[in-house]
Structure 1
Amino acid sequence: MKKAFRIKKNSEFQKVFKNGASFANRQLVIYYLNKRDQAHYRVGLSVSKKIGNAVVRNQIKRYLRQAFLELNEEIHASYDIIIIARQPVRDCDFHDVKKSVQHLLYKTGLLMKK
């Protein structure tokens, strides 16, 4: 995922939290906000220190970025998306994380039907 497609600023995170909608499953929570003037979706990741040490947190973030990279063509373009990791995600491998992201995107309507 290109760095231009990431949400980094706290103010942008807060805007999505306040004005957006959310959905959750066991491993992840998703917040999303429609921004009609945007050409590509943007993603913000949040992995708390409660999940594990830096190695574990960075691995989870890599899994999440790779999942979005593989689902790139199927995601609606005009959204800001924030993913928050929950405790059970630390026991998941990449395929479980991707399946969980796919489930959230499908349930929220952000995934285009093939």
Structure 2
Amino acid sequence: MRKQQRIKKNEDFQQVFKHGTSFANRQFVVYIYPKKNQTELRLGLSVSKKLGNAVKRNEIKRYVRQAIFELQSELKANVDYVIIARAGATDLNFHETKKSLQHILRIAKCLPKVRNEVK
């Protein structure tokens, strides 16, 4: 994920919070704000100091960025996503983080539903 795809400014975060829609599970809250004149998705992350020291917070952010990078081809391109980590996110490894984000993005209808294949 390139740095141009990250939301950094407070005004951008506030715009997504004010005008976007939110979806939540036990580990994450996701705000979604579609933008018409945007060509690629942008991602903002928020991990509170209450969740742990800097090492743990950075680990959570790395896991979320990598999960979004892997799901990027399936996500809508003209959307701003802000992901807020909750206390449940501190105990997850990468695969659990990705699974949790897929779950919440499916609820938000940003990812296609999984079809059960018969083997």
The alignment-based identity, stated in percent, is 56
Q: CA deviation at 1:35?
A: 0.3
The answer to whether the 8 Å contact 1:76/1:112 transfers is no
Q: Secondary structure at the match of 1:38?
A: coil
Q: Distance in 1 between matches of 2:19 and 2:69?
A: 26
Equivalent pairs counted in the alignment come to 114
Q: Distance in 2 between matches of 1:37 and 1:105?
A: 22
The equivalent of 1:2 in structure 2 is 2
Distance verdict in 2 for CA 1:112–1:41, change over 3 Å: farther
Structure 2 residue runs without a partner (length 5+): 115-119
Q: Secondary structure at the match of 1:55?
A: helix
Q: Distance in 1 between matches of 2:96 and 2:36?
A: 31
The equivalent of 1:84 in structure 2 is 84
Q: CA deviation at 1:112?
A: 4.0
> Within 5 Å, which residues of 2 pair with 1:29-68?
29-68=29-68
> Alpha carbon RMSD of aligned pairs, Å?
1.1
If you compute each CA radius of gyration, which structure gives the higher value, 1 or 2? 2
Q: With structure 1 as the length reference, what TM-score do the two structures score?
A: 0.97
Structure 1 residue runs without a partner (length 5+): none
Q: With structure 2 as the length reference, what TM-score do the two structures score?
A: 0.93
